[in-house]
Amino acid sequence: MTGFKHERHKSPTPLKQPRELVLACPPFRSQVNLSRIVRAAGCCGVQHIVCAGNGKVKSKIARDGAEAVEIDVHRSLEPQLKKLKQTGYALVGLEQTSGSVSLFEFPFTRKTVLVLGNERLGISENVLALLDATVEIPVYGLPHSHNVATATAMALYEYCRQFPDG
């Protein structure tokens, strides 16, 4: 008898300083993906998402993440990314590229914008050209590519693992 007792919905882990991770989302094909990302971001203590496209979130999926996370909707990501870069953020794309580093081995800096790509098209060429780094998640089997919200969850997890206190 191991005696594990449920403690579901524990109090959240306090952060010693606010998360300085920002997510940048392109126009997604699916509102569901954006909504799942908002929920995961909220759970990770992320406070800010920059978004192109309509930015509509399904609150049934995002839950209270939809209120906890500030979602700034813009016509295009590039000007926002340039501004964030000027204020000291590293721009890190989640994308398989000629220069991508395994997420297993990537040391994040605290002030990071995690830049996501569209489900079909990935990160646009214009945005790719602005990035400081790209990270990829090793894939071992079929279907050979993660859903974008799943991949984002993994990257959020890795960032939080590196900065468990904020």
Q: Which residues bind its own copies (CB under 8 A)?
A: 1-10, 12-15, 19, 36, 39-40, 42-46, 61-65, 67-68, 93, 95-100, 102-104, 122-123, 128-129, 131-132, 134, 136-147, 149-150, 153-154, 156-158, 160-161, 164, 166
Burial status of residue 146 (CB atoms within 10 A of its CB: 0-12, 13-18, 19 or more): middle
Q: How far are the Cα atoms of 6, 49, 77, 78 from residue 126, in angstroms, in the given order?
A: 48, 19, 9, 7
For residue 118, count other CB atoms closer than 10 A to its CB. Answer: 18
Shortest distance, position 89 Cβ to its own copies, whole Å: 15
80 or 163: CB nearest its own copies = 163
Closest separation in Å from C-beta 51 to its own copies: 18
Phi and psi angles of residue 58, each rounded to the nearest 5 degrees, phi first = -85, 115
Smaller CB separation from its own copies, 64 or 72: 64
